[in-house]
Structure 1
Amino acid sequence: MLAQHLLRQPAPIFAPIAAVVCLTDDPGKRGRRALRLLAGVCVGVAVGELATRVTGSGWLQVGTAVAAGMLVVALGSINSLTLLQAGIAALLVVGLASPATGWTRLLSAVIGGVLALVVSQVLVSPSPVRLLVGAAREALRGPAEALGEVAAALREGSAARAEDAVTALRGGQAPLATFLDTSETAGSLASTTVRGRRERARVAVLRRRLAGVEYVHASTVLLARTAVEVRAAGASVPAHLADGVDELAAAVRAVAADPGAPDPRADDLGGPRPTHEIADELAATRPGGLADRDAQLAAQLHVLARDVAALVDHSGTRATT
């Protein structure tokens, strides 16, 4: 409608095409996508106009124009979007053979692309902080639940229960992958959208602090595998190690419940304690004086506690949410 009003054309087809294509990617990639789209449209329109003036219209001319438009783009870029848009623009210019000029078609695409960017990057852009916190919450739920299962397995002497925790962690890679992708998207939104610029400082703090989510996941897997080996051997486990795993489970649950909080309070049985107190205390765990398998379990507990401690900020500075 906007293109019809501004360009006085009954069917400015490139405007809706450009708007739809610009919005079919992650929010953080829409700016680059719009530029690539417009570059392809420009080349395709130019090649199509030239082909129409030189050879006229027809099925052979359409095929030739499409191939020529994509070839010109391929000389400088192999991006699939730019290539496709060049071919589509050339096809529409030659195939439709409408009285509209090449400049009108190009302006139509510009109107659609700009309108899509205004809507997605200014008017209704998502909050990068909210995206990042939500993805971190989902990524940490798996390790939190697995640690609870590991603690129960150590107390009950159940190798099968610990093995179930390992299996669940291995099958729960999707939330972790989503978190890593979302972290990149949040960083992009913080620099390319109006709302993101307002949250840039907060996004930088959260990305830096939550970068260790994948390490917590990996350390939890190693701890669970060690628990399987310890329980399979049939030896008893010192109570303080099982209690330590339970406390870490509470600490990870606290972070998962509110990843944006600088220092969440863990829901352990002794009363809520700042997560860093639990993690720092367990990070001091040393395997000295323990049997080999118990020493290995204590060492894994030590590594995981350090990874959990890195997820929280206990410096006393608290960023606003």
Structure 2
Amino acid sequence: MEVAAWAGRAGSRLRNGAWRIALAAVTATVAWVLAQYLLGQPTPIFAPIAAVVCLTDDPGTRGRRALRLLAGVCAGVAVGELATRVTGSGWLQVGMAVAAGMVVVVLGSINSLTLLQSGIAALLVVGLASPQTGWTRLLSAVIGGVLALVVSQVLASPSPVRMLVSAARDALAVPASALAEVAAALREGSASRAGDAVTTLRDGPELLATFLDTSETAASLAATTVRGRRERARVTALRDRLAGIEYVHASTVLLARAAAETLSAGASVPARLTDGVAELAAAVQALAADPSASDPRVEEPGGPRPIHEVAEELARTRPGGLADRDAQLAAQLHLLALDVAALVDPAPART
């Protein structure tokens, strides 16, 4: 069982990283060929290294990574060349050049990649003691870094809208499934089924964290890539509208627990609360199926009521006149309806 679980996780990681691996491999090959042709080097190792280093990060950080790498290389080569001409080469000069290259970088940044590249560049220039080594490495790294910039920011930049919608779909699928389970539990009076809904929600935090990370990546892509700039207005609108997904998760957890406690106590839940949960579950399922549409049901003639109508009506649910446990369930339904309404129209405040 443990081997099967590990294999499943390994397969998932491989699927997630396959595109990144292929992109880095192809770009490294092209960088090698370009550096051979442009610089006349038989083994231009630094060009593919720069390309791989720049392209192994998440899409939203590749551009900054390439710029940091180039900044570190330039600082290290400049310090190394100066040190070679002034002090010559040797074990002491190597250490001094590495330290000096990193000090120059620290004056403007403490980014680990920039520091690393400046130290390595200075080390190679002084350690190999060849006047051409540093500048050749610089040009080779520039070729790899610039190529990585072109690939990541222009040729192979992902769609931030598609990334955001996909992550939102996965994040909404969990509360949608759990709410359907809660509605069925209330209809059947099954406390165990309500408990199953609570168990289903344990997968929610991981998917929610992925969505939040993807939202930040989408914003970065919209600001730094050619494709992202074309989608910037839509990315901003989607991020504003879908920001409340975490509230939907939290409210669904509270509602599922309230339902489980109510049913465990043997209470009879009013039909209007059961129907409300079922209708809200269907609304969240519709949003999970198409997060890019603010209200997927609006364009369905003769279909279920639009989500905003359902959410706004259920947001008026009040616990007055209900037994204690039913009142708690009604209060949680009210909060969840407010959160779902905010996913359709983010303008109203959550109260």
1:298 alignment partner in structure 2: 330
- Taking the aligned partners of 1:98 and 1:14, their CA distance within structure 2 comes to 16
- Taking the aligned partners of 2:303 and 2:157, their CA distance within structure 1 comes to 40
- Pairs aligned (count): 312
1:264 alignment partner in structure 2: 296
The question of whether the paired residues in 2 share the 8 Å contact of 1:149 and 1:161 is answered with: yes
Q: Say whether residues 1:3 and 2:35 are aligned partners.
A: yes
Amino acid of the structure 2 residue aligned with 1:20: V
Shift of 1:255: 0.4
Q: Deviations over 1:204-248 (max 9, x none)?
A: 111111111111111111111211221222211112211111111
Q: Sequence identity, in percent?
A: 83
Amino acid of the structure 1 residue aligned with 2:160: P
- Taking the aligned partners of 1:202 and 1:187, their CA distance within structure 2 comes to 11
Task: Name which of structure 1's ranges 150-159 and 218-227 shifts more when overlaid on structure 2.
Answer: 150-159
* TM alignment of 1:41-80, pairs within 5 A: 41-58=73-90, 61-80=93-112
Q: Deviations over 1:28-49 (max 9, x none)?
A: 2122212211111112212322
Task: Name which of structure 1's ranges 277-286 and 8-17 shifts more when overlaid on structure 2.
Answer: 8-17
1:25 alignment partner in structure 2: 57
1:218 alignment partner in structure 2: 250
Work out which structure has the larger RCO, using CA pairs closer than 8 Å and 6 or more positions apart in sequence. 1
Shift of 1:296: 1.3
Task: Name which of structure 1's ranges 163-172 and 134-143 shifts more when overlaid on structure 2.
Answer: 163-172
Q: Say whether residues 1:166 and 2:204 are aligned partners.
A: no
- Taking the aligned partners of 1:172 and 1:294, their CA distance within structure 2 comes to 26
Q: Deviations over 1:40-68 (max 9, x none)?
A: 11122123223433454455544443333
- Taking the aligned partners of 2:128 and 2:272, their CA distance within structure 1 comes to 77
2:313 alignment partner in structure 1: 281
Amino acid of the structure 2 residue aligned with 1:47: V
SS of the residue corresponding to residue 243 of structure 2 reads: helix
1:181 alignment partner in structure 2: 213
Amino acid of the structure 1 residue aligned with 2:310: I
The question of whether the paired residues in 2 share the 8 Å contact of 1:129 and 1:199 is answered with: yes
Q: Which structure: greater helix fraction?
A: 2
- Taking the aligned partners of 2:124 and 2:269, their CA distance within structure 1 comes to 73
- Taking the aligned partners of 1:69 and 1:167, their CA distance within structure 2 comes to 54
RMSD: 2.3
2:46 alignment partner in structure 1: 14
Q: Deviations over 1:89-134 (max 9, x none)?
A: 2233234445525333222222211111111111111111100000
Gaps of 5+ in 1: 316-321
Q: Say whether residues 1:135 and 2:167 are aligned partners.
A: yes
* TM alignment of 1:70-109, pairs within 5 A: 70-98=102-130, 100-109=132-141
- TM-score, normalisation: structure 2: 0.82
SS of the residue corresponding to residue 49 of structure 2 reads: helix
2:285 alignment partner in structure 1: 253
Gaps of 5+ in 2: 1-32
The question of whether the paired residues in 1 share the 8 Å contact of 2:125 and 2:133 is answered with: no
- Taking the aligned partners of 2:96 and 2:75, their CA distance within structure 1 comes to 14
1:191 alignment partner in structure 2: 223
2:17 alignment partner in structure 1: none
- Taking the aligned partners of 2:60 and 2:303, their CA distance within structure 1 comes to 41
1:239 alignment partner in structure 2: 271
Q: Deviations over 1:229-288 (max 9, x none)?
A: 21222211112211111111111110000000131129xxx9433222221221121222
The question of whether the paired residues in 2 share the 8 Å contact of 1:137 and 1:259 is answered with: yes
SS of the residue corresponding to residue 236 of structure 1 reads: coil
Structure 2 CA distance for partners of 1:156 and 1:96, relative to 1, 3 Å: farther
- Taking the aligned partners of 1:50 and 1:271, their CA distance within structure 2 comes to 75
- Taking the aligned partners of 2:126 and 2:105, their CA distance within structure 1 comes to 18
The question of whether the paired residues in 2 share the 8 Å contact of 1:276 and 1:314 is answered with: no
The question of whether the paired residues in 1 share the 8 Å contact of 2:297 and 2:303 is answered with: no
Task: Name which of structure 1's ranges 95-104 and 240-249 shifts more when overlaid on structure 2.
Answer: 95-104
Task: Name which of structure 1's ranges 27-36 and 103-112 shifts more when overlaid on structure 2.
Answer: 103-112
- Taking the aligned partners of 2:103 and 2:45, their CA distance within structure 1 comes to 24
Question: 1:201 is matched with which residue: 222, 233, 240?
Answer: 233
Q: Deviations over 1:61-94 (max 9, x none)?
A: 4444333322332343221111111122223323
The question of whether the paired residues in 1 share the 8 Å contact of 2:54 and 2:69 is answered with: yes
- Taking the aligned partners of 1:48 and 1:300, their CA distance within structure 2 comes to 65
Structure 2 CA distance for partners of 1:76 and 1:199, relative to 1, 3 Å: closer
